[in-house]
Structure 1
Protein backbone atom coordinates (compact mmCIF):
# COMPACT_ATOMS: atom_id res chain seq x y z
CA UNK A 1 0.00 0.00 0.00
CA UNK A 2 2.98 2.31 0.46
CA UNK A 3 3.27 2.65 -3.33
CA UNK A 4 -0.42 3.62 -3.59
CA UNK A 5 -1.67 7.18 -3.16
CA UNK A 6 -5.14 7.65 -1.69
CA UNK A 7 -6.95 10.88 -2.56
CA UNK A 8 -9.77 11.89 -0.22
CA UNK A 9 -12.73 14.07 -1.06
CA UNK A 10 -13.91 15.77 2.16
CA UNK A 11 -17.64 16.64 2.20
CA UNK A 12 -19.66 13.43 2.40
CA UNK A 13 -16.53 11.28 2.34
CA UNK A 14 -14.64 12.27 5.49
CA UNK A 15 -17.09 14.74 7.06
CA UNK A 16 -20.88 14.57 7.30
CA UNK A 17 -21.22 18.15 6.13
CA UNK A 18 -22.99 18.32 2.76
CA UNK A 19 -26.42 19.80 3.75
CA UNK A 20 -24.90 22.35 6.12
CA UNK A 21 -22.26 23.38 3.65
CA UNK A 22 -24.64 23.92 0.73
CA UNK A 23 -26.71 26.24 2.91
CA UNK A 24 -23.52 28.04 3.93
CA UNK A 25 -22.51 28.50 0.28
CA UNK A 26 -25.88 30.12 -0.45
CA UNK A 27 -25.69 32.41 2.58
CA UNK A 28 -22.09 33.37 1.79
CA UNK A 29 -23.09 34.49 -1.70
CA UNK A 30 -26.12 36.38 -0.38
CA UNK A 31 -23.80 38.28 1.95
CA UNK A 32 -21.99 39.50 -1.17
CA UNK A 33 -25.20 40.93 -2.62
CA UNK A 34 -25.86 38.02 -4.97
CA UNK A 35 -29.62 37.55 -4.75
CA UNK A 36 -30.54 35.38 -7.74
CA UNK A 37 -28.77 32.14 -6.80
CA UNK A 38 -29.12 28.84 -8.63
CA UNK A 39 -29.28 26.41 -5.69
CA UNK A 40 -29.48 23.30 -7.87
CA UNK A 41 -25.85 22.66 -7.02
CA UNK A 42 -25.89 19.01 -8.09
CA UNK A 43 -26.39 20.06 -11.71
CA UNK A 44 -23.54 22.58 -11.85
CA UNK A 45 -20.85 22.14 -14.49
CA UNK A 46 -18.28 22.06 -11.66
CA UNK A 47 -19.13 21.09 -8.09
CA UNK A 48 -16.80 23.65 -6.56
CA UNK A 49 -17.03 26.79 -4.44
CA UNK A 50 -15.08 28.90 -6.89
CA UNK A 51 -17.32 27.91 -9.79
CA UNK A 52 -20.49 28.51 -7.72
CA UNK A 53 -19.33 32.03 -6.96
CA UNK A 54 -18.30 32.88 -10.53
CA UNK A 55 -21.38 31.35 -12.12
CA UNK A 56 -23.83 33.14 -9.84
CA UNK A 57 -21.94 36.44 -9.80
CA UNK A 58 -21.80 36.59 -13.59
CA UNK A 59 -25.47 35.70 -14.03
CA UNK A 60 -26.43 38.43 -11.52
CA UNK A 61 -24.14 41.24 -12.65
CA UNK A 62 -23.08 40.33 -16.21
CA UNK A 63 -19.43 41.00 -15.46
CA UNK A 64 -16.36 39.13 -14.27
CA UNK A 65 -15.78 38.37 -10.61
CA UNK A 66 -13.46 40.92 -8.92
CA UNK A 67 -10.12 39.40 -7.95
CA UNK A 68 -10.61 39.88 -4.22
CA UNK A 69 -14.16 38.50 -4.09
CA UNK A 70 -13.14 34.85 -3.68
CA UNK A 71 -11.32 35.72 -0.45
CA UNK A 72 -14.38 37.58 0.85
CA UNK A 73 -16.58 34.64 -0.14
CA UNK A 74 -14.27 32.29 1.76
CA UNK A 75 -14.50 34.39 4.92
CA UNK A 76 -18.29 34.57 4.52
CA UNK A 77 -18.38 30.79 4.32
CA UNK A 78 -16.68 30.52 7.69
CA UNK A 79 -19.17 32.95 9.21
CA UNK A 80 -22.10 31.01 7.78
CA UNK A 81 -20.68 27.68 8.97
CA UNK A 82 -20.30 29.04 12.49
CA UNK A 83 -24.10 29.32 12.73
CA UNK A 84 -24.26 25.52 12.69
CA UNK A 85 -23.15 22.88 15.17
CA UNK A 86 -19.71 21.41 14.48
CA UNK A 87 -19.83 18.72 11.81
CA UNK A 88 -19.25 15.06 12.60
CA UNK A 89 -17.01 12.61 10.82
CA UNK A 90 -18.15 9.91 8.44
CA UNK A 91 -17.72 6.77 10.55
CA UNK A 92 -14.12 5.63 10.47
CA UNK A 93 -12.64 8.78 8.91
CA UNK A 94 -10.34 9.80 11.76
CA UNK A 95 -9.29 6.20 12.36
CA UNK A 96 -8.43 5.67 8.71
CA UNK A 97 -6.33 8.85 8.41
CA UNK A 98 -4.55 8.03 11.68
CA UNK A 99 -3.79 4.50 10.46
CA UNK A 100 -2.48 5.79 7.16
CA UNK A 101 -0.20 8.20 9.00
CA UNK A 102 1.00 5.49 11.38
CA UNK A 103 1.74 3.07 8.54
CA UNK A 104 3.31 5.73 6.27
CA UNK A 105 0.68 5.18 3.56
CA UNK A 106 0.58 8.19 1.21
CA UNK A 107 -2.64 10.21 1.08
CA UNK A 108 -3.86 13.69 0.26
CA UNK A 109 -7.05 15.73 0.12
CA UNK A 110 -8.88 17.12 -2.93
CA UNK A 111 -12.01 19.16 -2.31
CA UNK A 112 -14.33 21.46 -4.19
CA UNK A 113 -14.47 23.61 -1.08
CA UNK A 114 -12.11 26.49 -0.31
CA UNK A 115 -9.16 26.01 2.09
CA UNK A 116 -10.47 27.68 5.26
CA UNK A 117 -13.85 25.90 5.27
CA UNK A 118 -12.19 22.59 4.38
CA UNK A 119 -9.74 22.86 7.27
CA UNK A 120 -12.49 23.91 9.67
CA UNK A 121 -14.55 20.82 8.85
CA UNK A 122 -11.55 18.52 9.27
CA UNK A 123 -10.55 20.22 12.53
CA UNK A 124 -14.07 19.87 13.92
CA UNK A 125 -13.80 16.13 13.32
CA UNK A 126 -10.24 15.96 14.69
CA UNK A 127 -9.01 14.64 11.34
CA UNK A 128 -5.34 15.40 10.73
CA UNK A 129 -4.42 17.49 7.72
CA UNK A 130 -1.26 19.18 6.55
CA UNK A 131 -2.11 22.10 4.26
CA UNK A 132 0.65 20.96 1.91
CA UNK A 133 -1.55 17.94 1.12
CA UNK A 134 -4.74 19.95 0.61
CA UNK A 135 -5.82 20.85 -2.94
CA UNK A 136 -8.94 22.98 -3.29
CA UNK A 137 -11.01 25.00 -5.74
CA UNK A 138 -9.16 28.14 -4.64
CA UNK A 139 -6.71 27.50 -7.46
CA UNK A 140 -8.66 25.17 -9.77
CA UNK A 141 -12.32 25.57 -10.67
CA UNK A 142 -12.63 22.07 -12.15
CA UNK A 143 -12.40 18.90 -10.09
CA UNK A 144 -9.87 17.42 -12.49
CA UNK A 145 -7.68 20.45 -11.91
CA UNK A 146 -7.45 20.21 -8.16
CA UNK A 147 -7.21 16.40 -8.13
CA UNK A 148 -4.14 16.68 -10.36
CA UNK A 149 -2.87 19.40 -8.03
CA UNK A 150 -3.37 17.03 -5.07
CA UNK A 151 -1.30 14.35 -6.80
CA UNK A 152 1.55 16.79 -7.41
CA UNK A 153 1.36 17.98 -3.80
CA UNK A 154 1.60 14.38 -2.60
CA UNK A 155 4.62 13.69 -4.80
CA UNK A 156 6.38 16.66 -3.23
CA UNK A 157 5.31 15.86 0.34
CA UNK A 158 6.31 12.19 0.15
CA UNK A 159 9.35 12.84 -2.06
CA UNK A 160 8.18 10.52 -4.83
CA UNK A 161 8.45 10.91 -8.59
CA UNK A 162 5.32 8.82 -9.07
CA UNK A 163 2.95 6.31 -7.47
CA UNK A 164 2.34 2.76 -8.68
CA UNK A 165 -1.38 3.20 -8.13
CA UNK A 166 -3.70 6.09 -7.27
CA UNK A 167 -7.10 5.58 -5.61
CA UNK A 168 -9.70 8.33 -5.35
CA UNK A 169 -12.32 8.10 -2.58
CA UNK A 170 -15.53 10.09 -2.92
CA UNK A 171 -19.26 10.10 -2.34
CA UNK A 172 -20.54 11.85 -5.48
CA UNK A 173 -21.02 10.98 -9.11
CA UNK A 174 -18.70 13.89 -9.96
CA UNK A 175 -15.96 12.21 -7.90
CA UNK A 176 -16.37 9.04 -9.93
CA UNK A 177 -16.43 10.88 -13.26
CA UNK A 178 -13.25 12.76 -12.34
CA UNK A 179 -11.49 9.51 -11.42
CA UNK A 180 -12.57 7.99 -14.71
CA UNK A 181 -11.42 11.04 -16.67
CA UNK A 182 -7.99 10.85 -15.01
CA UNK A 183 -7.76 7.02 -15.19
CA UNK A 184 -7.69 6.63 -11.40
CA UNK A 185 -9.12 3.79 -9.35
CA UNK A 186 -12.23 4.78 -7.43
CA UNK A 187 -13.85 3.83 -4.12
CA UNK A 188 -17.35 5.08 -3.38
CA UNK A 189 -18.25 6.05 0.19
CA UNK A 190 -21.80 6.32 1.56
CA UNK A 191 -25.17 4.91 0.57
CA UNK A 192 -26.84 8.11 -0.70
CA UNK A 193 -25.37 7.94 -4.20
CA UNK A 194 -24.41 4.25 -4.23
CA UNK A 195 -26.89 3.26 -6.95
CA UNK A 196 -25.77 6.09 -9.22
CA UNK A 197 -22.13 5.24 -8.66
CA UNK A 198 -22.62 1.57 -9.49
CA UNK A 199 -24.75 2.38 -12.53
CA UNK A 200 -21.92 4.57 -13.82
CA UNK A 201 -19.15 2.05 -13.38
CA UNK A 202 -18.08 2.06 -9.73
CA UNK A 203 -17.04 -1.43 -8.61
CA UNK A 204 -16.13 -0.70 -4.98
CA UNK A 205 -18.63 1.04 -2.69
CA UNK A 206 -18.79 1.07 1.10
CA UNK A 207 -21.44 2.54 3.43
CA UNK A 208 -18.75 4.26 5.50
CA UNK A 209 -15.02 4.22 6.14
CA UNK A 210 -15.26 1.64 8.93
CA UNK A 211 -16.20 -0.95 6.33
CA UNK A 212 -13.43 0.25 4.02
CA UNK A 213 -10.91 -0.17 6.87
CA UNK A 214 -12.05 -3.77 7.34
CA UNK A 215 -11.49 -4.49 3.67
CA UNK A 216 -8.16 -2.65 3.47
CA UNK A 217 -6.48 -3.96 6.58
Structure 2
Protein backbone atom coordinates (compact mmCIF):
# COMPACT_ATOMS: atom_id res chain seq x y z
CA UNK A 1 0.00 0.00 0.00
CA UNK A 2 1.30 3.44 -0.95
CA UNK A 3 2.19 5.54 2.09
CA UNK A 4 1.32 9.17 1.38
CA UNK A 5 0.71 10.39 4.93
CA UNK A 6 3.06 10.30 7.92
CA UNK A 7 2.71 9.73 11.64
CA UNK A 8 5.66 10.77 13.83
CA UNK A 9 5.86 9.03 17.20
CA UNK A 10 7.60 10.04 20.39
CA UNK A 11 8.61 6.99 22.48
CA UNK A 12 8.83 7.51 26.27
CA UNK A 13 5.34 7.46 27.80
CA UNK A 14 3.84 7.77 24.32
CA UNK A 15 4.51 4.19 23.22
CA UNK A 16 6.42 2.76 26.18
CA UNK A 17 6.07 3.11 29.94
CA UNK A 18 9.68 4.01 30.40
CA UNK A 19 10.14 7.59 31.53
CA UNK A 20 11.04 6.79 35.16
CA UNK A 21 13.81 4.31 34.38
CA UNK A 22 14.94 6.48 31.48
CA UNK A 23 15.38 9.40 33.91
CA UNK A 24 17.23 7.19 36.41
CA UNK A 25 19.56 5.98 33.64
CA UNK A 26 20.14 9.54 32.43
CA UNK A 27 21.05 10.75 35.91
CA UNK A 28 23.29 7.70 36.44
CA UNK A 29 25.19 8.47 33.23
CA UNK A 30 25.62 12.11 34.23
CA UNK A 31 26.97 11.05 37.61
CA UNK A 32 29.52 8.94 35.71
CA UNK A 33 30.76 12.25 34.27
CA UNK A 34 30.96 13.86 37.71
CA UNK A 35 27.61 15.64 37.48
CA UNK A 36 25.83 15.25 40.83
CA UNK A 37 23.44 18.22 40.91
CA UNK A 38 20.84 18.15 38.15
CA UNK A 39 17.64 20.15 37.77
CA UNK A 40 15.08 17.47 36.89
CA UNK A 41 12.31 19.89 35.98
CA UNK A 42 12.77 19.26 32.29
CA UNK A 43 10.34 22.05 31.37
CA UNK A 44 12.93 24.57 32.58
CA UNK A 45 15.43 23.54 29.91
CA UNK A 46 15.49 25.32 26.56
CA UNK A 47 15.48 21.92 24.83
CA UNK A 48 14.11 18.72 26.40
CA UNK A 49 16.60 16.25 24.94
CA UNK A 50 19.12 14.01 26.70
CA UNK A 51 22.02 15.54 24.78
CA UNK A 52 21.05 19.13 25.63
CA UNK A 53 20.38 18.30 29.30
CA UNK A 54 23.77 16.54 29.44
CA UNK A 55 25.43 19.53 27.73
CA UNK A 56 23.89 22.12 30.07
CA UNK A 57 24.78 20.23 33.24
CA UNK A 58 28.24 19.26 32.00
CA UNK A 59 29.15 22.88 31.24
CA UNK A 60 27.69 24.12 34.51
CA UNK A 61 29.56 21.49 36.54
CA UNK A 62 32.92 21.50 34.78
CA UNK A 63 33.01 25.10 33.55
CA UNK A 64 34.19 24.08 30.09
CA UNK A 65 32.64 23.64 26.67
CA UNK A 66 30.73 20.46 25.94
CA UNK A 67 31.66 18.25 22.97
CA UNK A 68 29.44 15.76 21.15
CA UNK A 69 32.45 13.42 21.28
CA UNK A 70 31.31 12.63 24.85
CA UNK A 71 28.02 11.16 23.64
CA UNK A 72 29.36 7.69 22.77
CA UNK A 73 30.59 6.99 26.30
CA UNK A 74 27.48 8.61 27.77
CA UNK A 75 25.28 6.37 25.62
CA UNK A 76 27.20 3.25 26.66
CA UNK A 77 26.86 3.99 30.39
CA UNK A 78 23.21 5.00 30.09
CA UNK A 79 22.31 1.90 28.03
CA UNK A 80 23.98 -0.47 30.49
CA UNK A 81 22.07 1.12 33.37
CA UNK A 82 18.80 0.98 31.44
CA UNK A 83 19.31 -2.74 30.77
CA UNK A 84 19.60 -3.41 34.51
CA UNK A 85 15.89 -2.63 34.97
CA UNK A 86 12.97 -5.01 34.35
CA UNK A 87 11.44 -5.23 30.88
CA UNK A 88 9.63 -2.18 29.53
CA UNK A 89 5.84 -2.33 29.07
CA UNK A 90 3.83 -0.67 26.34
CA UNK A 91 1.37 2.17 26.73
CA UNK A 92 -1.83 0.16 26.44
CA UNK A 93 -2.77 -0.63 22.85
CA UNK A 94 0.39 0.80 21.28
CA UNK A 95 1.67 -2.37 19.61
CA UNK A 96 -1.70 -3.28 18.09
CA UNK A 97 -2.31 0.27 16.82
CA UNK A 98 1.11 0.60 15.17
CA UNK A 99 0.62 -2.77 13.44
CA UNK A 100 -2.76 -1.59 12.16
CA UNK A 101 -1.39 1.70 10.85
CA UNK A 102 1.53 0.03 9.09
CA UNK A 103 -0.37 -2.90 7.56
CA UNK A 104 -3.82 -1.52 6.83
CA UNK A 105 -3.56 2.23 6.18
CA UNK A 106 -1.78 4.68 3.90
CA UNK A 107 0.16 6.11 6.86
CA UNK A 108 3.92 5.74 7.08
CA UNK A 109 5.40 5.60 10.59
CA UNK A 110 8.60 7.18 11.89
CA UNK A 111 10.00 7.85 15.36
CA UNK A 112 11.44 11.04 16.84
CA UNK A 113 12.72 10.95 20.40
CA UNK A 114 14.64 13.23 22.72
CA UNK A 115 16.29 10.09 24.08
CA UNK A 116 19.81 8.88 23.43
CA UNK A 117 19.64 6.37 20.57
CA UNK A 118 20.39 2.90 21.96
CA UNK A 119 18.02 3.10 24.95
CA UNK A 120 15.31 4.23 22.52
CA UNK A 121 15.83 1.12 20.40
CA UNK A 122 15.76 -1.07 23.51
CA UNK A 123 12.40 0.31 24.65
CA UNK A 124 10.74 -0.46 21.34
CA UNK A 125 12.32 -3.92 21.15
CA UNK A 126 11.29 -4.80 24.70
CA UNK A 127 7.61 -4.00 24.13
CA UNK A 128 7.51 -5.58 20.66
CA UNK A 129 6.63 -2.42 18.75
CA UNK A 130 6.90 -2.98 14.99
CA UNK A 131 9.51 -0.44 13.98
CA UNK A 132 12.09 0.23 11.28
CA UNK A 133 15.43 1.41 12.73
CA UNK A 134 16.11 3.45 9.58
CA UNK A 135 13.25 5.85 10.40
CA UNK A 136 14.12 6.49 14.04
CA UNK A 137 15.81 9.77 14.91
CA UNK A 138 17.24 10.52 18.35
CA UNK A 139 19.30 13.21 20.03
CA UNK A 140 22.83 11.83 19.60
CA UNK A 141 23.66 14.40 16.93
CA UNK A 142 21.08 17.06 17.75
CA UNK A 143 20.16 19.25 20.70
CA UNK A 144 16.68 20.40 19.65
CA UNK A 145 13.42 18.55 19.19
CA UNK A 146 12.81 20.40 15.94
CA UNK A 147 16.05 19.07 14.44
CA UNK A 148 15.17 15.54 15.53
CA UNK A 149 11.66 15.66 14.05
CA UNK A 150 12.91 17.14 10.77
CA UNK A 151 15.56 14.40 10.56
CA UNK A 152 12.88 11.77 11.16
CA UNK A 153 10.67 13.19 8.40
CA UNK A 154 13.62 13.16 5.98
CA UNK A 155 14.39 9.55 6.88
CA UNK A 156 10.77 8.59 6.27
CA UNK A 157 10.75 10.37 2.89
CA UNK A 158 13.87 8.48 1.85
CA UNK A 159 12.70 5.11 3.17
CA UNK A 160 9.18 5.24 1.73
CA UNK A 161 10.19 7.03 -1.47
CA UNK A 162 7.90 10.00 -0.87
CA UNK A 163 8.96 13.47 -1.99
CA UNK A 164 6.42 15.16 0.29
CA UNK A 165 3.79 13.67 2.59
CA UNK A 166 0.24 14.96 2.14
CA UNK A 167 -0.33 15.19 5.91
CA UNK A 168 1.98 14.81 8.91
CA UNK A 169 0.70 14.14 12.43
CA UNK A 170 2.94 14.11 15.50
CA UNK A 171 2.07 12.11 18.63
CA UNK A 172 3.61 12.86 22.03
CA UNK A 173 3.08 13.01 25.77
CA UNK A 174 4.77 16.29 26.71
CA UNK A 175 4.46 20.03 26.38
CA UNK A 176 7.68 20.09 24.32
CA UNK A 177 6.03 17.72 21.82
CA UNK A 178 3.15 20.18 21.35
CA UNK A 179 5.57 23.09 20.98
CA UNK A 180 7.73 21.25 18.45
CA UNK A 181 4.73 20.26 16.33
CA UNK A 182 3.49 23.84 16.27
CA UNK A 183 6.94 25.22 15.45
CA UNK A 184 7.04 22.86 12.45
CA UNK A 185 3.39 23.40 11.47
CA UNK A 186 2.38 19.78 12.12
CA UNK A 187 -0.85 18.34 13.46
CA UNK A 188 -0.52 17.06 17.03
CA UNK A 189 -2.18 14.33 19.10
CA UNK A 190 -1.56 14.19 22.85
CA UNK A 191 -1.05 10.79 24.46
CA UNK A 192 -1.16 9.78 28.16
CA UNK A 193 -2.74 11.39 31.22
CA UNK A 194 0.05 13.22 33.06
CA UNK A 195 0.11 16.39 30.92
CA UNK A 196 -3.60 16.77 30.19
CA UNK A 197 -3.65 20.22 31.81
CA UNK A 198 -0.83 21.37 29.51
CA UNK A 199 -2.67 19.96 26.50
CA UNK A 200 -5.80 21.88 27.48
CA UNK A 201 -3.87 25.12 27.92
CA UNK A 202 -2.36 24.62 24.48
CA UNK A 203 -5.80 23.89 22.96
CA UNK A 204 -4.73 20.47 21.75
CA UNK A 205 -7.63 19.28 19.60
CA UNK A 206 -7.21 15.54 20.02
CA UNK A 207 -5.99 13.73 23.13
CA UNK A 208 -6.02 10.02 24.05
CA UNK A 209 -5.28 8.54 27.47
CA UNK A 210 -3.82 5.45 25.80
CA UNK A 211 -3.89 3.80 22.37
CA UNK A 212 -7.05 1.79 23.03
CA UNK A 213 -8.90 5.13 22.64
CA UNK A 214 -7.31 6.02 19.30
CA UNK A 215 -9.65 6.44 16.33
CA UNK A 216 -8.16 7.05 12.90
CA UNK A 217 -11.51 8.31 11.63
CA UNK A 218 -11.83 10.80 14.50
CA UNK A 219 -8.28 12.07 13.99
CA UNK A 220 -8.82 12.57 10.27
CA UNK A 221 -12.09 14.38 10.87
CA UNK A 222 -10.56 16.75 13.46
CA UNK A 223 -7.61 17.61 11.18
CA UNK A 224 -9.65 17.55 7.97
CA UNK A 225 -7.49 14.83 6.42
CA UNK A 226 -8.94 13.10 3.34
TM-score normalised according to structure 2 size? 0.91
Shift of 1:213: 4.3
Shift of 1:161: 0.3
How many pairs were matched up? Answer: 217
Partners of 2:161 and 2:183 in 1: CA distance: 25
Structure 2 unaligned segments of length 5 or more: list them.
221-226
1:136 is aligned, of 135, 138, 145, to: 138
Q: Which residue of 2 aligns with 1:84?
A: 85
Structure 1 unaligned segments of length 5 or more: list them.
none
CA RMSD of aligned residues (A): 1.7
Shift of 1:216: 6.0
Q: Which residue of 1 aligns with 2:97?
A: 96
1:149 is aligned, of 145, 148, 151, to: 151
String of CA shifts for 1:105-143, please: whole Å, max 9, x gaps: 201000000110000011110112222100111121100
Check the 8 A contact 1:113/1:136 in 2, yes or no: yes
Residue range with higher mean Cα deviation, 145-154 or 36-45? 36-45
Q: Which residue of 1 aligns with 2:177?
A: 175
String of CA shifts for 1:70-96, please: whole Å, max 9, x gaps: 111111111211232111000111111
Q: Which segments of structure 1 move beyond 6 Å, counting only runs of 4 or more?
A: none
Check the 8 A contact 1:144/1:178 in 2, yes or no: yes
Q: Which residue of 1 aligns with 2:223?
A: none
Check the 8 A contact 2:9/2:112 in 1, yes or no: yes
Check the 8 A contact 2:206/2:219 in 1, yes or no: no
CA 67–106 in structure 1, closer or farther in 2 if over 3 Å, else same: closer
Q: Which residue of 2 aligns with 1:159?
A: 161
Shift of 1:34: 1.7
Partners of 1:66 and 1:138 in 2: CA distance: 11
Shift of 1:67: 4.1
String of CA shifts for 1:150-171, please: whole Å, max 9, x gaps: 1111100100000111000001
Partners of 2:205 and 2:58 in 1: CA distance: 38
TM-score normalised according to structure 1 size? 0.94
